[in-house]
Amino acid sequence: MIKVLVVDDSPVVRDLLKHILTLENEMVVIGEAKDGQEAVEFVERNKPDVITMDINMPRLNGFDATRQIMQKNPVPIVIVTASWDPSDLNKAWQAMEAGAVAAVEKPRYSTEENYRNNSKNIVDTVRLMSQVKVVRRWPKRKVAVTEVSADRTESRLSAPRYEIVAIGASTGGPPVIKELLETLPENFSAPIAIVQHIARNFTAGLVEWLDRSTALKVRVAKNREILEAGTVYVAPDGFQMKVDLSSHIILTDDPPENGLKPSVSYLFRSIAEIFGKKAVGILLTGMGKDGANELRTLKDKGAITIAQDKETSVIHGMPGEAIKIGGATHIAAPDRIVGLLMRLIGAGANK
């Protein structure tokens, strides 16, 4: 049985979440908390497999509760919010930086279909996140992991100028992406295209949070806009994103790949076709294998490919799959990835 703690200041929402979760035969709600303080105290006495955490609560909000739990008694935490207010979303991303592993939307009754979809997403996310047995606290965490070359037979850091960076991430990705971007200079000499698997309606808030954290310009990608150096383009909800021969972003309604839309595989494949050896591909923490085969395709085309190491990944599924099939020229922790990007691309002078 998956043991769940439900944390929300609304008794109606707690009852609704309990109802949705306990419809699943393998789930049981072992406790409820009306604020973050009760949640912290509950986890000190009990050991749930996963926690659903509201953000705005009295006494102790969801961000502070997440931070305390992750410091003392780590448990997979799923942020559940209904508010798209920027300040609330900022707390949600701070909670993920503190160690929460996912964020989902509260079930809404706007339509029956919407309610079913939201409910299914909550259940699926709780089920998947309950499998994360070790959840690490990310803020200001520096891991002394030496960069590893997965391809020791050749030195590829002297390759031609790299014209684009493509990043794919899923579970645990937002804090890592923030760590990468906040260190890069404003005049970074290449555009960055990102596919981050995340619940619908969270992308705009993610982009605002990242934009405040870096000197680079971060935006939700728009169809037909041309790539510019020093700018980060995040794939929007419900679209596949690729790049064409004229370095324009193309958003399409093509089918999901690996069950995902946007898909890392879709982006990486277009980057391999258009940029080849002039690209850098990065696959970060996440469940599943989206992007793994295509990272290998990028490598085969002569691109530099980087997979996040196991020690710093919340879930090593996607980068681990890429490593298994020989898709990574480098395996590195986030701080080492930043160093690689600056050595490969750098700032200003390479324009």
Per-residue pLDDT averaged across 190-212, rounded?
91
Specify the DSSP class assigned to residue 66: H
In angstroms, the CA 216 to CA 97 distance is 19
269-295 residue pLDDT tens: 999 999 999 999 999 999 899 999 999
Residue among 9, 35, 49, 197 flagged as catalytic: 197
Least confident of 53-57, 157-161, 238-242: 157-161
In this prediction, residue 219 carries a pLDDT of: 97
Instruction: Count Cβ neighbours within 10 Å for each residue of 103-123 and write b for 16 or more, e otherwise.
Output: bbbbbeeeeeeeeeebbebbb
Q: Is 232 left (phi over 0), alpha (psi -120 to 50) or beta?
A: beta
- Picking from 205, 199, 171, the residue whose alpha carbon sits closest to that of residue 92 is 205
In this prediction, residue 137 carries a pLDDT of: 56
229-244 residue pLDDT tens: 999 999 999 999 999 9
In angstroms, the CA 125 to CA 199 distance is 10
Domain ranges of the chain: 2-129, 148-344
Segment (H or E) for 32: strand 27-33
Distances (CA, A) of 261 to 180, 193, 349: 24, 15, 36
> Across all residues in the chain, what is the average pLDDT?
88
pLDDT above 90 covers a percentage of the chain that reads 71
In this prediction, residue 144 carries a pLDDT of: 38
Pairing of β 240-243 and β 249-252: antiparallel
In this prediction, residue 169 carries a pLDDT of: 98
In angstroms, the CA 41 to CA 52 distance is 15
Per-residue confidence at 113, pLDDT binned at 50, 70, 90?
Answer: confident
What are the structure tokens assigned to 188, written together?
């970074």
Angle, vertex CA 170, rays to CA 239 and CA 156, nearest 5: 100
In this prediction, residue 84 carries a pLDDT of: 60
SS3 of residue 240 by DSSP: strand
Per-residue pLDDT averaged across 74-94, rounded?
80
Annotation says 19 is catalytic: no
285-342 residue pLDDT tens: 998 999 999 999 999 999 999 999 999 998 899 999 999 999 999 999 999 999 999 9
Q: Yes or no: is domain 148-344 CATH 3.40.50.180? A: yes
In angstroms, the CA 149 to CA 137 distance is 26
With 0-12 CB in 10 A as exposed, 13-18 as middle and 19+ as buried, what is 255? exposed
CB 132 within 8 A of CB 101: yes
User: pTM, whole model, 2 decimals?
Assistant: 0.86
In this prediction, residue 118 carries a pLDDT of: 85
Annotation says 64 is catalytic: no
Residue among 64, 290, 309, 316 flagged as catalytic: 290
Specify the CATH number of the domain 2-129: 3.40.50.2300
Pairing of β 249-252 and β 50-53: unpaired
Cis check for the bond before 262: say yes or no (omega within 30 of 0).
Answer: yes
Per-residue confidence at 104, pLDDT binned at 50, 70, 90?
Answer: confident
2-129 against 148-344: fold identical: yes
What are the structure tokens assigned to 262, written together?
């946007």
- Picking from 38, 48, 41, the residue whose alpha carbon sits closest to that of residue 8 is 38
In angstroms, the CA 36 to CA 7 distance is 7
99 Cβ contact partners less than 8 Å away, ≥ 6 residues apart: 66, 67, 69, 70, 74, 77, 135, 136, 137, 138
Residue among 170, 189, 270, 313 flagged as catalytic: 170
Q: Is 258 left (phi over 0), alpha (psi -120 to 50) or beta?
A: left
* Residue scoring higher pLDDT (344 or 158): 344
Annotation says 189 is catalytic: no
